[in-house]
Amino acid sequence: MESKNTESGQLTDLTIEDLNSAVQKWESDLRFYKDDLIFIQHIMDHYISVILLHENLDEIRESTMRLEDLKYRCDGLLKNIASLRRKMGDSFQEDVNNALLTGYSKLKVRIKGFKSDFKALKVEIFSIADNAIEIGKREKKDLDATDPN
């Protein structure tokens, strides 16, 4: 996608096709992230008993709240994409107007922030789950060592 920043910071030389292509990719990415958030929730649910016994409860509560916030933000971004698509559909011009560029630019920044927050939370949750798995292995090993059979 060819885009240029002018001195005022506005994007120029974008066509409706360019915007549509970017918006389609964002929508696809966000749908993947939404599915991944559900998977992360399942991981937390699966290991919750070990996590609650061995992890800092405030940290777990904070991670859970951020997970819920990311789910909410993802849904909101998908709604914003649908709204931008409607506006793009209403634009019968080949040139992109300032309202579309503004909406596109704001959405681009919000999606970038979402992706960054998602990646950080995913690393954190996987670290917690990995710790829970290791604790489970140690506990199983300890049980096996004390089993006389």
Which whole number is the average pLDDT over 115-142? Answer: 89
How large is the average pLDDT for residues 76-101? Answer: 81
**pLDDT bucket at 93, cuts 50 / 70 / 90:** low
pLDDT tens digit sequence for 30-57: 999 999 999 999 998 888 877 777 767 8
Q: How many CB atoms lie within 10 A of CB 48?
A: 14
Cα(94)–Cα(79) distance, rounded to whole angstroms?
24
For residue 141, name the pLDDT band (cuts at 50, 70, 90).
confident
- Distance (Å, rounded) from C-alpha 43 to C-alpha 58? 18
Count the neighbouring beta carbons within 10 Å of the beta carbon of residue 26: 22
The pTM (predicted TM-score) of the whole model is 0.78
